[in-house]
Amino acid sequence: MKERIAVYPGSFDPLTLGHIDIVNRAAKLFDRLLVAAIQNPGKTPLFSLEERLQILKSTFAEKPEIEVDTFSGLLVDYLRQKESFIVIRGLRAVSDFESELQMALMNRTLSPDTETLFLVPSARYSFLSSSMIKQVYQLGSEVPSLVTPMVDRLLKEKFGKG
Ligand code: ADP
C-alpha cells in the first residue's frame, strides 16, 4: 500500500511546545510526517534556516516516522516534489482562522488535490506563539516550560543571557 505522507510547514522561528504538540498528533495519523521549515524571503527570522533545521533535527531525532526538512518557494510545489497532498496546520484561537482559511483555499486553487488538515493543540498551548516567546526572551525573561531546553538555551544566547 502507498505510504500516507503529510507535510507540516511553518516558520518554526523558533520551535515551541505548541508546534511539537501538533507534530505528535499529526504523526499518529500518517505513515510519515515531514516537518518543513520555510525559507520566507518576506520575513527576517531570528533563527537562520540552518539553525531552525538543527533544532528540528535534534528534537525529532528519536522518531523515525518524523522527517525534517526546509523549503523555499510555493508549498504546493514542495508537496508535489514529496508526493504528498496533505498539509497540516495548527489552529489556536480564532485569530488563526482567517489567514489559515485564505492560505488553504489559495493552495487548493493552485493545486486542486491539496487538502489542509487543522489540528487543535492542547489548551495549554492555545495562546502560545513563537513571536510571544521571542518577545519574552528579548525583554530579559524566560519561559522554559513552553520551549525545549535547546531552544531555551539558544534564545538566551541570542539575547545575550547565555
Ligand atoms: P507560520 O509563519 O507558517 O505561521 P509558525 O511557525 O508560526 O509559522 O506556525 C506554523 C503552524 O503551527 C501554523 O499552522 C500555526 O498556526 C501553528 N502553530 C503555531 N503555534 C502553535 C501552537 N501554540 N499551537 C498549535 N499550533 C501552533
CA of 142 to the centre of ligand 1 (A): 20
pLDDT digits (tens, 9 = 90+) for 82-131: 999 999 999 998 788 999 999 999 999 999 999 999 999 999 999 999 99
Is there a cis peptide before residue 14, judged by omega within 30 degrees of 0?
yes
Q: CA 11: distance to chain centroid?
A: 6
Secondary structure class of 124 (helix, strand, coil): helix
Distance CA 105, CA 114 (A): 9
Residue 70 parent element (H or E):
strand 66-72
Sign of CA dihedral 120, 125, 129, 130: negative
- Distance in Å, CA 1 to ligand 1 centroid: 31
Give distance in angstroms: CA of 81 to centre of ligand 1: 23
What domains can you pick out in the chain, each with its CATH number? 5-123 (3.40.50.620)
* Per-residue pLDDT tens over the stretch 66-93: 999 999 999 999 999 999 999 999 999 8
Is residue 122 annotated as part of the catalytic site, yes or no?
no
98's grid cell: 482567517
- 45 CB less than 6 Å from ligand 1? no
Angle, CA of 12, 146 and 30, to the nearest 5°: 55
Ligand 1 near 10 CB (within 6 A): yes
Indicate if the pLDDT at residue 161 is higher than 80. no
Which atom in ligand 1 lies closest to the alpha carbon of residue 38?
3
Residue with cell 506563539: 129
**Nearest-CA residue for atom 24 of ligand 1:** 18
DSSP 58-119: HHSTT-TTEEEEEEES-HHHHHHHTT--EEEEE--STHHHHHHHHHHHHHHHHSTT-EEEEE
* Ligand 1 binding pocket includes 142 (Cβ within 6 Å): no
Those residues whose C-beta lies under 8 Å from the C-beta of residue 83, and which sit 6 or more positions away, are 5
Kind plus residue range of the DSSP H or E element containing 27 = helix 17-29
Average pLDDT on 51-73 reads 97
